[in-house]
Amino acid sequence: MNILIREEPILAIAREQLRQIISENDINSVSDVYELFRESFKDMLQKLLEAEMDVSIGYPKMQKMTSSLPTNGTAIHLKW
């Protein structure tokens, strides 16, 4: 049983995407590639950490938590 996998269309798309990324980001050297990877990784990591915090605290970063606790400056004193 032979399974034929066609990779050529996918490679053609990947090559075209790479050409577009190179032209859009004015990449002329290896250091330009490194900088693009560094910035992209930084952005992805930031998004992942924000998503993790949203899940952890239960609401998105800029959304205020709704609560029935007083927010008029009065303190809540807990006894231990």
**53 touches 60 (CB < 8 A):** no
Structure confidence by residue, pLDDT tens digits, 50-66: 999 888 887 776 666 55
Residues with Cβ within 8 Å of 43's Cβ and at least 6 positions away in sequence, in order, are: none
Q: How confident is the model at residue 72 (pLDDT cuts 50, 70, 90)?
A: low
Distance from CA of residue 53 to its chain's centroid?
A: 13
For 20-30, write each residue's pLDDT tens digit.
999 999 999 99
Spans of all domains in the chain: 19-57
